[in-house]
Amino acid sequence: MSPALPRSVRLVEVGPRDGLQNEARPVSLDAKRQLLEQLAQAGLRYLEAGSFVHPERVPQMADSDTLLRDLRRHPGVTYAALTPNQRGFERALAAGVDEVAVFAAASETFSQKNINCSIDDSLARFEPLMHSAREANLPVRGYISCVLGCPYTGRVAPEQVLALTHQLLDLGCREVSLGDTIGVGTPGDTARLLDVLLAEIPPERLAVHMHDTYGQALANIYVALTHGISVVDSAVAGLGGCPFAPGAAGNVATEDVVYMLNGLGIEHGVDLEALVHAGDTICRTLGRDNASRVARALLSRADS
Ligand code: HMG
Ligand code: MG
């Protein structure tokens, strides 16, 4: 018997944030606006558009205030941004975001390198932010980095991820996105992690966020689907990486996820052709290769 799969999946498009944060060359506001516009036109309903972190630590995101404030918004699309602390939240609120995301790590060393504090201190920094978000009626998403491995210390125990997931949900996060930041996890690792988490946490509260460094991301997502998880983060053209996770490749490409969901008969609301166009446009603008296998296949067919 084939495993039970969700009828529909909600795609969280992180390309404009996770994708662009790692680009070596400056990306213009116009290019960011065009990307967001084309992604919305392709049918994506959740766009992580920017990040309110320290501008010197992630220069590519320094213009998130302007980008979000002046953005032409599509009705029904959630425009979200990362906020590491109260200062970031205030900037996000002023820019008019629809949702914010806090981000913690399941590895102490990564937490220090990424957000300059311990895991416990990061949770303490989130508390006033969560309070302000409740007052402003803004939902908060939670991320956990390094759920399948840390670039500095290696293996991460599923129990550590479980404890942190509980803490983020208890703080008031709507859902927790499980980040394989360096894309090392295999389907076996993903299944073992999810078996531990789902013994205590309903699948509706979890999302997966797979980077594709070792080419395992789609297989890991398939495992997550068979475990009842129906929220998948991805980045158009497979853009991305984390500036504080050396060697990490981009997120799984949205085009590749959409193609797989089509084959599985799972609804997602995205027009693949329009999505491929969005990915092709940003890759040309950035002068970089398209990391989506599906986009490359479809674009080479169109060329011939
Ligand atoms: P910090 O130095 O510990 O902050 O940085 P602080 O509270 O000590 O403040 C120091 C100075 O920074 C102060 O300025 C603050 O005002 C300022 P001063 O008084 O000295 O002039 N400051 C800020 N300025 C603007 N916006 C802010 C802000 N906060 C403080 N929000 C901080 C802590 C987190 C801000 C810093 O370490 C930082 O920006 N880190 C970057 C983290 C980041 O963006 N990482 C990449 C995204 S996470 C990721 O990619 C993983 C994910 O995709 C999931 C996965 O794949 O695993 C989500
Ligand atoms: Mg990421």
Is the Cβ atom of 50 under 6 angstroms away from ligand 1? Answer: no
pLDDT of residue 303: 78
Is the Cβ atom of 88 under 6 angstroms away from ligand 1? Answer: yes
Query: Domains, the chain, ranges and CATH?
Result: 10-303 (3.20.20.70)
Is the Cβ atom of 216 under 6 angstroms away from ligand 1? Answer: no
Cα–Cα distance for residue pair 286/270, rounded to 1 Å: 23
DSSP string, 260-273: HHHHHT-B----HH
pLDDT of residue 304: 72
pLDDT of residue 181: 96
Question: How confident is the prediction for the chain on average, in pLDDT?
Answer: 96
Q: What separation in Å is there between the alpha carbon of 53 and the centre of ligand 1?
A: 4
Cα–Cα distance for residue pair 217/240, rounded to 1 Å: 14
* Closest atom of ligand 1 relative to the 146 alpha carbon: 57
* Closest atom of ligand 1 relative to the 101 alpha carbon: 58
* Closest atom of ligand 1 relative to the 21 alpha carbon: 46
Summarised one tens digit per residue, pLDDT across range 178-226 is 999 999 999 999 999 999 999 999 999 999 999 999 999 999 999 999 9
Ligand 1 atom 20 nearest Cα: 54
Helix (H, G, I), strand (E, B) or coil at 217: helix
Summarised one tens digit per residue, pLDDT across range 223-244 is 999 999 999 999 999 998 677 8
Closest CA to 246 of 213, 216, 218: 213
Contact between 70 and 95 (Cβ < 8 Å): no
Q: What separation in Å is there between the alpha carbon of 116 and the centre of ligand 1?
A: 8
Catalytic residue among 146, 150, 173, 242: 242
pLDDT at 253 over 50: yes
Is the Cβ atom of 110 under 6 angstroms away from ligand 1? Answer: no
pLDDT of residue 40: 98
Contact between 196 and 162 (Cβ < 8 Å): yes
Exposure class string for 89-113: b at 16+ Cβ within 10 A, else e? bebbbebebbbbbbbbbbbbebbbb
pLDDT of residue 1: 45
pLDDT at 3 over 90: no
pTM > 0.85: yes
Q: What separation in Å is there between the alpha carbon of 109 and the centre of ligand 2?
A: 17
Ligand 1 atom 9 nearest Cα: 54
pLDDT band at 245 (very low <50, low <70, confident <90, very high): confident
pLDDT band at 248 (very low <50, low <70, confident <90, very high): confident
Summarised one tens digit per residue, pLDDT across range 31-79 is 999 999 999 999 999 999 999 999 999 999 999 999 999 999 999 999 9
Q: What separation in Å is there between the alpha carbon of 209 and the centre of ligand 2?
A: 7
Mean pLDDT score, 4-24: 96
Summarised one tens digit per residue, pLDDT across range 121-173 is 999 999 999 999 999 999 999 999 999 999 999 999 999 999 999 999 999 99
Please indicate whether residue 242 is annotated as part of the active site. Answer: yes
Percent of the chain predicted with pLDDT > 70: 99
Q: What separation in Å is there between the alpha carbon of 126 and the centre of ligand 1?
A: 12
Helix (H, G, I), strand (E, B) or coil at 206: strand
pLDDT band at 2 (very low <50, low <70, confident <90, very high): low
